[in-house]
Chain A
Amino acid sequence: MIKYPINFKLNGQLVSVEAPATINLLTLLRDYLNITSPKFGCEQGNCGACTVILDGEAVNSCLVLALTVNGRAVTTVEGLGTPEDPHPLQVAFTEHYGAQCGYCTPGMIMASKALLDKNPHPTREEVVEGIVGNICRCTGYNKIVESVLAAAEMAR
């Protein structure tokens, strides 16, 4: 199996790994680098559970060919906050009940982070537009939107 080198920044750290041209970024993260926060939901680009940030943009990692991240920067939830120092989004999702089963949460948080990085004080409609690519079957989205708005407020 032909493999190619990938050198990229993962959550701020330089990572070197070899992978074939047949796998997507979700597989690279989960099966090669044991980063399990992005989740398999459909691998069809339609649910957002695999959302990570690539060069500042929220992307479906299942639609990105792994090799193409060479020389670029990927951020996942693992790079966001820690139990001792959680990111405002993580505090807000906890306090405003933005997660029930938690399976879509990593993707939701990365989409929200990408949104807040570009638009620190979004309106409710802008938050909805920012997470519209992330499907949640449990919450009905209401408390997720409120969590993101609360996180934006915290950062003020």
Chain B
Amino acid sequence: MADYKYVGKRLPRYDGMQHALAKTRYVNDLRYPDMLHMKVWRSPLISAKILNIDTSKAEVLPGVVAVVTHKQVPHNRYGAGDYPVLADEEIRYLGQEVVAVAAVDVDTAMEAVSLIQVDLEERTPLLDPFKAMEPDSIQLSPIGNFIKFDGNPYRQILKGDFESAIQEADFVVEGYYRTAAQEHCPIETQVSICQTDGMGRTHINTVTQAVFFNQGTIAAILKKPRSKVHMIGGVLGGGFGAKNDPHADHIAAVVSLYTGGRPVKWLWTREEEFVASTHRGAMHMFFKDGVMKDGRIIARSVRSIRDGGAYILTNDYVVAKHAFGVAGPYNIPNVKVISYGLLTNKRPTSSMRGFGLFQASFAFEVQMDRIAKTIGVDPWRLRFINAVHDGDTSATRAVLHNCALIEVMQAAAGRAGIRLDEELLHMASHSREEV
């Protein structure tokens, strides 16, 4: 069935006209009777010990319905078990949530937050991931600053023998690459509407990208079975990785336990997105490649350090995926990768479109041009002659199928009006055995 009826067709989006008519209802467009509004007390300090939390004035302010601290959270840990829902003993990043207030309107909630007194003992913050690696560094967590991978403080990838191969290379090309910390910036900020009904079932209108992942997380926080956490989602104003980890849902869900059945809405401001939401962590990457005169890359080593922020969250996943793919879509026989994730007193990092391989791609593709310029080979040719083919193995020795690096380069060059030489135009990604 080469020609399908619907598959492969340029049909308009299912909800295209709905968007254009502005009939798509986002969570912030929903209204419920008696809906309360939430604001939180956020730490003004980067790192501190929490001495005391005084919410007495806030609790008696007219219009305030619930004031919640870590004491009222059934289970105050999530993520890798290290991330408090509301800070209890310490502050690890600027803007960390400590107290949540639900009130009849936003102004009252903000006024209540201004009446909260949290005594903090400021600590010297640890902001540099390189310093975090040093033995005498400040330790952010009981198990140190290094993110663990099956017990190791690094994710290592070894293929062939880099150390001897680098000796045989005609050229050794090194490079340091840094990608910046970035904010996802979906135009819809974090928002959640939670209501716990008379039977103790919590209903959540959510903007998460991962409904069931968050259902599991929130069920554990509320100490309830998944079936008692009813999440309704599916429409959001952009994600880009900003809405995988819980931001508003889990705290609003806890607050909804104490509002006598009234729904509570928590809409983050744009400033809160910039100060306190998860972000893409900066990454430092050190490349060292062994290259032959004809352009074949025979050895590649990569050492990378991710500035991971205050808690573990997905740092292990991001660093691992980075390590698995950082050698690039090239058939390099000898590879040595060692990647670290370090905790720092910055707001937590997590997924952002690219998930560790944005950083890797930037590094290995600028490194490829640096090699080309160093050994005097055309940048296109360098990539074509090293490109992976079907049947090659990746750095983790997995057999590769459906390769297409050659074809996408041919297509991009063609559309850009760049005349590749014949030899490159006749290359194909199918297995090297096939003639």
Residues of A within 8 A of B (CB): 30, 34, 36-37, 39-44, 47, 49, 76-78, 80-83, 86, 89-91, 93-95, 97-106, 109, 135-138
Residues of B within 8 A of A (CB): 12-13, 15-26, 28-29, 31, 184-189, 236-240, 267, 269-270
Residues in A neighbouring B31, C-beta threshold 8 A: 34
A to B CB contacts below 8 Å, 6 in the list = A43-B270, A77-B22, A80-B21, A83-B21, A101-B238, A105-B19
Task: Tell me the interface secondary structure of chain A in the complex.
Answer: loop
Residue of B nearest to A93 (CB): B20
Q: Is the Cβ of B187 less than 8 Å from the Cβ of A39? A: yes
How many A-B pairs fall under 8 Å by CB?
A: 99
Complex: A78 Cα to B23 Cα, angstroms:
9
Q: Is the Cβ of B17 less than 8 Å from the Cβ of A101? A: no
With A101-B238, A103-B187, A137-B187 as given contacts, are A83 and B17 in contact (CB-CB < 8 Å)?
A: yes
Q: Is the Cβ of A89 less than 8 Å from the Cβ of B20? A: yes
With A41-B187, A102-B15 as given contacts, are A82 and B28 in contact (CB-CB < 8 Å)?
A: no
Residues in A neighbouring B185, C-beta threshold 8 A: 137
Residue in B13, B20, B31, B237 whose Cβ sees the most chain A Cβ within 10 Å: B20
Shortest A74–chain B CB gap in Å is 14
Q: Is the Cβ of A102 less than 8 Å from the Cβ of B267? A: no
Residue of B nearest to A34 (CB): B31
Residues in B neighbouring A136, C-beta threshold 8 A: 187
Q: Is the Cβ of A94 less than 8 Å from the Cβ of B237? A: no
Residues in A neighbouring B189, C-beta threshold 8 A: 40-41
Q: Is the Cβ of B13 less than 8 Å from the Cβ of A90? A: no
Q: Is the Cβ of B13 less than 8 Å from the Cβ of A99? A: yes
Residues in A neighbouring B269, C-beta threshold 8 A: 43
Complex: A39 Cα to B238 Cα, angstroms:
13
A102's partner among B184, B237, B239 (CB-CB below 8 A) is: B237
Shortest B108–chain A CB gap in Å is 12
